[in-house]
Amino acid sequence: MTGFEYFFSSIKNIWKIEDLRYKIGITLGFLLVYRFSSYVPLPGINPQGIYNFMENVNTGEKGLLQIIYSFSGGAFSRASVLALGIMPYISSSIFVHLISLIFPYLKKDGESSRIRINRIIRIVTVIICLIQATTYCNILTTKFIPFSYAPKAYLLDLSISMEKVFFWVISIVVLTVGTFFTIWIGENITDKGIGNGVSLIIMSGIMDRFPNALYTEIVSHLGARGGLFFLFFECLLWLLFVCFCIMVIQAVRKVPVQYVGSIQNKKQKRLMTRTNYIPLKVISVGVMPIIFAQSIMLFTMMISSHLRSTFKNVYGFWYNLVFSIFIIFFTFFYTAVTIPVHQMTEDLKRDGGHIPKVKPGKETLDYLDNILAVITITGSFLLVIIAILPSFIVKIGVTKNLALFYGGTSLLIIVGSVLDTMQHIDPYFLNNHYDILLSMYHQKLWKNYG
């Protein structure tokens, strides 16, 4: 069976499994609700006026705002009720989990600890939402009023102070509620649907810009000389980068571990050796270092006008140089705080396992530390390559909007979400095959002995 035949066979089998069909329907339904909601404008906003303004802003000067547009599925540029998206919740989760490493009592085992952590995450999310919503309202009321693009951006007269205060209060409340509505959709997808809800929401927001970027790319090259050949070359290059991302995400360094046990029968007692592996992923931290690096870059741009003018172009040299340094730093930092090498060593010692030719205890700890350091260096440089790929793709003639899909956070999240969703679907296929084989076995028994 070829790859295409396997793909279409899997699509066909999805609709034969009732439980899987129901979960996929729930997932698609919630994603549709999210996508439709992202087009609902804030009270008092004329969405067409805001959209016209955004479209006339120079692409290079948008800087990191382009990434915010992608993560919110365009809701940010439409002044939608979901303009803040899911990012305040993600930032809050990262912050709280890092704080729990400093205060371990917050992360004790048990259901009560999990509930307490979730409550803290939501409180921090409210604080972040209030700060970001205030900043967003300030941008709306200071940047979008004095422009000449028709139609006007506001249905209200914001020159009147009372109407301006009313607009701010309502918008901040609605934006905060919109973020928690997005969180609710993500949690329902995770609980009742298939895959990770937050990842699928982010992926749907990123994919929202893909059709328009692809259309712009086709139109810009179709009439040019050699345009069809260049478009074909772009498709092959994009497929190559997708395969590269899949290889990087799934790359694993297997550390062999041996467990020695004994088997005793009536005549003799003999030792039995069983070999397992500790799978250490080359990129065990996923896309988190890139998200951290982008957050720092955005913060520096907000506090300094000089840095804002230096890093305004996400395809420029200085932006990518500093961005790469932050990615490498956060890859090492996040790996150090999330992978418990010491705990792994203690578990091996307690369970009677050992790495071949390595003594238990400190030597095992040093051995695992060295392996983790090597694969972390490799993983950090691979992340840097993926993160700065759009800057090189732009140089060969790809439009800037489509170049974001040739690497960076966008491609990593899309590929990672698809792979994660497929891992959730595979057990349903295995259970279905098992049920079919069991049914065939019972039919055979009934035919032979019934």
Which residues are 253's β-sheet partners? Answer: 280
pLDDT for res 150: 42
Residue 380 · residue 362 · CB < 8 Å = no
119, with CB counted inside 10 A (0-12, 13-18, 19+), is exposed
Per-residue model confidence as pLDDT tens digits over 245-287: 888 888 888 888 877 654 455 455 454 556 678 888 888 777 7
Contact yes or no for 210/98 (Cβ under 8 A): no
> What contacts 297, CB < 8 A, 6 or more positions away?
64, 311, 319, 322, 323, 326
221: Cβ contacts below 8 Å, ≥ 6 apart: 227, 230, 231, 397
Question: pLDDT 10s per residue in the chain (450 long)?
Answer: 554 555 566 666 677 777 888 888 899 999 999 988 888 888 877 766 666 666 655 444 454 556 666 666 667 777 788 888 888 888 788 778 777 777 766 666 666 777 788 888 899 999 988 988 888 787 777 655 444 444 455 655 555 667 778 888 888 999 999 999 999 999 999 888 888 888 888 888 888 778 888 888 888 877 777 778 888 888 898 888 888 888 888 888 888 887 765 445 545 545 455 667 888 888 877 777 877 777 677 666 655 556 666 666 777 788 888 888 888 888 887 787 777 788 788 877 777 777 888 887 788 888 888 888 888 888 888 888 888 888 888 888 887 778 878 877 778 878 878 887 887 777 777 776 665 555 655 565 555 555
Amino acid letter, 242 = V
The confidence score (pLDDT) of residue 299 equals 61
Report the b/e string of 87-99 with b at 16+ CB within 10 A: bbbbbbbbbbeee
Distance CA 204, CA 211 (A): 12
Q: How high is the pLDDT of residue 146?
A: 43
Query: For the chain, which domains are there?
Result: 17-208 (1.10.3370.10)
What confidence score (pLDDT) does residue 7 get?
57
CB 273 within 8 A of CB 260: yes
Say what the pLDDT of residue 406 is.
80
